[in-house]
Structure 1
Amino acid sequence: MSEWYFKKNEQKVGPFTNVEMIALYRKKEINNLTLVQKSPHPEWVAFKQTELHQHALNHGNSELKIGNLFSAVFKKHSKEEGEKVFIAGTKYTTPATSDIPHTWPHPWVFSRVFLVLIITYFLLLACTYLFDNSNTIPGLMVIGSFAVPFSVLLFFFETNAPRNISVFDVVKMFFIGGVAALVATLVIYSIIPVGKLNYFNALLVGFIEETGKMIIVALFIRSLNSKYILNGLLIGAAVGAGFAAFESLGYAFNYSVDAAFLFKDIHIAGETMMNVIFSRGWQSIGGHVVWAAITGAALVIAKGDQKLGMHHIFTGTFWKWFIIPIALHFVWDCPFNPLPAIAFKQIVLIVIVWFVILRLISKGLKQVSVISAASKATK
């Protein structure tokens, strides 16, 4: 590995790695004219004359560009393009570190999968209500509850620039991780019981449920030894999506059964189920999926290049990010609810959480840029 030095006040400072030198440049601790030396070469040259300079300039490619992020959704794509997305993450398709793209991704497959699930949902709806076929009600609840969380998860799969996590791993984390997070949460609830949702209990709910998901996300990150922030976002989203989907399915079932017993009317029970599926569906774009994604990114940021350990969970670096999903969850559940008819609180919280998510994606792309640049510089 190359060792770099730079001159500051006629003093030789170093040594630094490629990654550290690029980071110093981006923090403006060194500039284009700073004299640097690459060991074992004796000559001193301006930083702009080194191979690191161009890699450092790639920083601009990972700046936040929301408009471009969804630009591919409304474009026509071939079947081969879609297949290329789903073969990512295997031993044969994971790109070398130096070849990882660090420009803003253009995800689109998630929108097609969402469309497929919505069409399936309406076909089941037709079976249920046009033909009075009650056999399709379970399928209606399952597809309705899974459609949005799973589609949002695929968005994170597409934005995972390192392409080092396979579809199989994602599905495994969605099902096993999502249900394991529910189990972890219920275990904590058995230790810390929560009553009616006042402000204090809403805070408890936020802490308990985010901690339950965090435990499972941490286990997957440790198992995969993920070092990229974008990996953390994907792993967290997978666990959160599974958690959200199964929880919504439970709510749809329980509320419809309660309505049937209360009103003795199967039509009211059906309307209740539909309302729960719809409200929890669109609101899930700003709920458990993205909350857990933030937690996953926080764990990766906290551990850095080390293997994730218990001590990382108690660092300020982790809590600086982990407090965000806890706070958002608290506000989501607390009694404060202005303009409930238009779900004003939920809409505001969705906007806030996606601002955080986009900043983390940007941060993740910058990390990829630095690591990729360092890898190229050592070749």
Structure 2
Amino acid sequence: MQTQWFYADGQDIKGPLSEQEFIEQVKQNIIQETTLVMAQGMSEWQLFRDTVLYQQLNAQHSQKDARSFISSAAERINEMTGEAGSFSLNLSTLFSDVFKKHTKEESERIFIAGTAYTTPDIADLTSDWPKPWLFSRIFLSFVLIYALLFLCLNGFSNIYALPGLILIGSFAVPFSLVIFFFETNVPRNISIFSVVEMFFVGGVSAMFLTLVLYSIVHVNNLTVFSAVIIGLIEETGKLFIAAWFIREMNARYLLNGLLIGAVVGAGFAAFESAGYALSAVLTNHTDLLYSLIDTRAWTSIGSHAIWTAIAAAGLLVVKKERPFRLELLRQRQFLQFFAVAVLLHALWDMPLFDGSDMKLLFLIACGWFFVFVLMNSGLRQINRIVRKNQGLR
């Protein structure tokens, strides 16, 4: 039997009502938080706000508000790309192949993509969500190498393992991210050779250009304002290098922009992390070395690679299949994405909520939300191009 509800309306007792009828009265604001209610199983009258049903309805309302907010945010990002429609992502499906067994031949098939002989025709492209997995194996390999170097250094006091420890600790997460974006580049039109070149040459070039900009605009103390300047300088340096690769490759897909931006940003992050780690050694702060490597590693999941990926994807939104022109960098549609990258970077560096990982986790989640929505838009672009090539509307 359904639970029967009663409520007090002044001196009158209303009821019995089924739970659904009772909820309808709540929605009509007839029953309020301070209304006295009673139901089967209750020994005395209670304020509605003190009941389990109130808590359940409040939780459902909060979940609906959260879903509504996420949907609205996704639609807004879609509008920024010129796409329309709802955003749907099932993370368990996206990462479903991570936990499956894969052969060496499957790995080789992934790595040989993007050459003049292995880039698929437009008609052979798919707009289904990719299921990357190789990045996880790359990451686990890095973890194993790092553990062995750690044992060499601390178990056998072999100082020669220190450079390798710094290198692997700094490059493990950024390079694993590179492989993730390489796997999710559905057009399969950029080779692993180009990716490695962008990671090393692009990462160092972005660092060099950033230092040039810092020599012009000096930043001393870290404040809210200087954090914005830092974000603007570093995202500008990385973007110009990413734009150069976009121009040289004549990239035309939004997903290409995500890959190129992520690779350049990841290279920048890896070299920067290695610099921080070496600085700790040279200044005799070796006691902080491992915590520094660990912190820089996990936070790189959602920092430079993600920010530059967003900005470069925005550049492909306005470029499309046209040749690259510097005027594209002045278009409002691109500047929106660049502003997002600068804002995320600035908030990351701002001296707000220092010592709390919650700020970083929140910004990482925001960055990845942008990336996933952009991936969704990129897949729609692929679907549209394929249909156009097939003569469909």
**TM tier, smaller:** 0.7 to 0.9
Is 1:376 equivalent to 2:390 in the alignment? yes
- Distance in 1 (alpha carbons) for counterparts of 2:235 and 2:280: 24
Is 1:291 equivalent to 2:316 in the alignment? no
Query: What is the CA distance between 1:373 and its match in structure 2?
Result: 1.1
- Per-residue Cα deviation, 1:59-99 (whole angstroms, up to 9, x for no partner): 99x94332211111111111111111000001111000111
Query: What is the CA distance between 1:27 and its match in structure 2?
Result: 8.2
Residue 328 (structure 1) aligns with: 344
Change in Cα spacing, 1:218 to 1:161, as seen in structure 2 (3 Å) is same
Is residue 65–residue 104 contact of structure 1 (8 Å, CA) maintained in 2? no
- Per-residue Cα deviation, 1:263-302 (whole angstroms, up to 9, x for no partner): xxxxxx3331111110000000010011111111011002
Q: SS in structure 2 opposite 1:377?
A: coil
Q: How does 1:1-379 map to 2 (within 5 A)?
A: 63-258=88-283, 260=284, 269-337=285-353, 340-341=355-356, 343-377=357-391
> Could you tell me which amino acid in structure 1 is paired with residue 233 of structure 2?
I
- Distance in 1 (alpha carbons) for counterparts of 2:117 and 2:90: 31
Query: What is the CA distance between 1:304 and its match in structure 2?
Result: 2.2
Q: SS in structure 1 opposite 2:129?
A: coil
Query: What is the CA distance between 1:248 and its match in structure 2?
Result: 0.2
Is residue 280–residue 286 contact of structure 2 (8 Å, CA) maintained in 1? no
Change in Cα spacing, 1:309 to 1:137, as seen in structure 2 (3 Å) is same
- Distance in 2 (alpha carbons) for counterparts of 1:102 and 1:300: 18
Q: SS in structure 2 opposite 1:89?
A: coil
Is residue 254–residue 320 contact of structure 2 (8 Å, CA) maintained in 1? no
Is residue 290–residue 353 contact of structure 1 (8 Å, CA) maintained in 2? yes
- Distance in 2 (alpha carbons) for counterparts of 1:112 and 1:27: 34
Question: Rg: which structure is higher?
Answer: 2
- Distance in 2 (alpha carbons) for counterparts of 1:122 and 1:245: 18
Q: SS in structure 2 opposite 1:103?
A: coil
More moved, 75-84 vs 168-177: 75-84
> Could you tell me which amino acid in structure 2 is paired with residue 345 of structure 1?
K
> Could you tell me which amino acid in structure 2 is paired with residue 329 of structure 1?
H
Q: SS in structure 1 opposite 2:345?
A: helix
Residue 78 (structure 2) aligns with: none
> Could you tell me which amino acid in structure 2 is paired with residue 319 of structure 1?
L
Unaligned runs of 5+ in 2: 1-81
- Distance in 2 (alpha carbons) for counterparts of 1:271 and 1:351: 30
- Per-residue Cα deviation, 1:324-378 (whole angstroms, up to 9, x for no partner): 110011000011116x25x111011001100000001101000001001111227
- Distance in 1 (alpha carbons) for counterparts of 2:105 and 2:127: 22
- Per-residue Cα deviation, 1:217-239 (whole angstroms, up to 9, x for no partner): 00000110100000000001110
Q: State the TM-score, normalizing by the size of structure 1.
A: 0.80
Query: What is the CA distance between 1:315 and its match in structure 2?
Result: 0.6
- Distance in 2 (alpha carbons) for counterparts of 1:377 and 1:314: 34
Is residue 169–residue 297 contact of structure 2 (8 Å, CA) maintained in 1? yes
Is residue 153–residue 234 contact of structure 1 (8 Å, CA) maintained in 2? yes
Change in Cα spacing, 1:377 to 1:210, as seen in structure 2 (3 Å) is same
> Could you tell me which amino acid in structure 1 is paired with residue 272 of structure 2?
E
- Per-residue Cα deviation, 1:92-123 (whole angstroms, up to 9, x for no partner): 11000111111000000000000001100000
RMSD of aligned Cα (Å): 1.6
- Distance in 2 (alpha carbons) for counterparts of 1:109 and 1:298: 26
Is residue 242–residue 260 contact of structure 2 (8 Å, CA) maintained in 1? yes
Change in Cα spacing, 1:270 to 1:27, as seen in structure 2 (3 Å) is closer
* Poorly superposed stretches of 4+, deviation over 4 Å: none
- Distance in 2 (alpha carbons) for counterparts of 1:210 and 1:67: 32
- Distance in 2 (alpha carbons) for counterparts of 1:300 and 1:200: 29
> Could you tell me which amino acid in structure 1 is paired with residue 299 of structure 2?
Q
